[in-house]
Amino acid sequence: MTYNKYAGLCADMLRAALKEPAKTKAKAREAIYYRSAVWENGQPTKQVITDITEGTSGKLS
Amino acid sequence: MLRRAGHSLGSRLCQRQGQLEPAVQGLKPSFAVAEEAVEGARDASTLLVKQRMKSVANIGKITKAMKMVAASKMRSAQVNTMNSRGIAEPLLKLLGDLPDAQGKKNVYVPITSDKGLCGGINTTVCKYTRASIKAEDGEDKEHSIVVLGEKGRSQLQRDLRASIHSTVADTGKVRVTFAQAAAIADGINTTEFDVARLIFNRFHSAISYKPTIATVLSPDSLEKEAEAGGLLDQYEIEGPDRAELLQNLSEFNLASTLYNALMENNCSEQASRMAAMESSTKNAEEMLGKLTLTYNRTRQATITTELIEIISGATALAG
């Protein structure tokens, strides 16, 4: 559990507590999407797509 | 061939005085093959130029559209970029800008775009990365690179393949958010760096986007700098949680600086693409102008040649 993850979880919970017009706008900022690969000896290993477009709310890990 | 053409033309002229066109038409069946061959040769050069003109005009239209799309994207990205500065600047004020911080493990994070046709910004970022690695090179210093963006990856994997720790792409595919920057920052943290250097293009205005290096320190390096009299030393950090507090601060610092860097680079990319497409459209228009002149010149030359043939045939017959 890094500080970033902790702050992100708090932010997600705060966004979930918002009322309607602000809620949808804030929910858009929750999405995480990127593609990454760790390299070993100058070669990329498997590509991992991190797709948490619904945010990390509710998942305490 | 010309003399023979003139002969038959002349005979027809004798029959129908002053009617040039039917005579020329009458010429066709007798010397059909020769005529068509000459006509085809004349049309070929104008046809080629015309095709080229059409393709250049299309390219001009496409680049003009791309420029407008980039301009509108830049406008909306500018607002978000200015807002993101409000997250990174307080940390800069708190910890100070430390470009000459020294550490054993250095990680370089060049931030580039995924798509091309955006001018020279990706090349300058890669150039600064290489220069920075060279400048910091010394004995017992380790370097590793975390590349963000496809363009940077393809450029840096040519000579710095061995130093690449990981690559990240498609950051702009859905949306650049702080949560995404935080996730990527946690990935960078796994390299356990002493000093991290983020290299990106900072957006100043629509025509000015300068390559910048932002330095982020690990908690141990922060301690070292604070002891050496850095800005952090102004604050009293009490208690047994000092290490944990500095750890949290460093992690958050990396995430916010990375978020700001991603937004600034995105905005710079759109501005650069706008400029590149603008010059491309201008070049296309210039090329089209030149081709139009060539086309008209060729067209007029072929008409003149035809006239000369007909008239010389007629005069050969008369004289």
Confidence of residue B100 (pLDDT cuts 50, 70, 90): confident
Low-confidence winner among A54-58, B102-106, B189-193, B253-257 (lowest mean pLDDT):
A54-58
A41, part of any domain: yes
pLDDT, residue B313, reads 95
ipTM: 0.90
Between chains, do A34 and B179 touch, taking CB under 8 Å as contact? no
Q: Which residue among A7, A29, A37 places its CB closest to the CB of B167?
A: A37
Q: Is residue A28 part of a domain?
A: yes
Whether the Cβ atoms of residue B144 and residue B176 lie closer than 8 Å to each other: no
Write down the pLDDT at residue B284.
96
Query: Which chain A residues are Cβ-neighbours of B168 within 8 angstroms?
Result: 34-36
Q: Residue A20: pLDDT above 80?
A: yes
Decide which of B263 and B13 is more confident. Answer: B263
Token pair for residue A32? 């995480």
Of the candidates B149, B200, B197, B154, the one whose C-alpha atom is nearest the C-alpha of residue B171 is B149
Domain count for chain A, please give it. Answer: 1
Please report which confidence band the pLDDT of residue B32 belongs to, taking 50, 70 and 90 as the band edges: very low
The answer to whether the Cβ–Cβ distance between B170 and A33 falls below 8 Å is yes
Of the candidates B170, B184, B252, the beta carbon closest to that of A3 is on B252
**pLDDT over 60 (residue B118):** yes
Q: What is the pLDDT of residue A60?
A: 53
- Which segment, B9-13, B14-18, B290-294, is predicted with the most confidence on average? B290-294
Residue A55 tokens, joined: 């945010």
Residue contact B185–A4, C-beta within 8 A = yes
- Within-domain flag for A30: yes
Average pLDDT, chain A: 84
Is B171 within 8 Å of A34 when comparing Cβ atoms?
yes
Query: Is A34's CB within 8 Å of B170's CB?
Result: yes
Give residue B5's pLDDT: 44
The confidence score (pLDDT) of residue A51 equals 79
Structural domain of A12: 3-51
Structural domain includes residue A35: yes
* CB-CB under 8 Å, A56 with B168: no
Confidence of residue B39 (pLDDT cuts 50, 70, 90): low
Nearest CB among A38, A41, A50 relative to B183 is that of A50
pTM: 0.83
Q: Which residue of chain B has the CA closest to A54?
A: B179
Average pLDDT, chain B: 86
Q: For residue A18, what pLDDT is reported?
A: 93
Tell me which chain B residue has its CA closest to the CA of residue A48: B168
Integer Cα distance of B252 and B255 in angstroms:
5
Q: From residue A1, how far is each of A10, A53, B6, B188, B217 by CA, in Å?
A: 13, 20, 97, 15, 20
Asked whether the beta carbons of residue B166 and residue A36 sit closer than 8 angstroms, the reply is yes
Cβ pairs A/B, distance under 8 A: 81
**Whole-number Å distance between alpha carbons of B161 and B151:** 14
Alpha helices (H) along B163-241: 178-189, 219-227
More confident residue, B229 or B37: B229
The domain limits of chain B are 68-224+241-279
Chain A residues at the B interface, defined by Cβ less than 8 Å, are 2-5, 7-8, 11, 28-39, 41-42, 44, 49-50, 52-53, 55-56
pLDDT confidence of residue B293: 94
Please check whether residue A17 lies inside any domain of the structure: yes
**Inter-helix orientation angle B178-189/A3-16, to 10°:** 160
Residue A58 lies in a domain: no
Is residue B78 pLDDT above 80, yes or no? yes
Contact A2 B189 (CB under 8 A): yes
A8-18 pLDDT, tens digit each = 999 999 999 99
Whether the pLDDT of residue B27 is over 90: the answer is no
Q: Which CATH superfamily is domain B68-224+241-279 in?
A: ATP synthase, F1 complex, gamma subunit (3.40.1380.10)
Judged by CB atoms closer than 8 Å, whether chains meet at A37 and B165 is answered as no
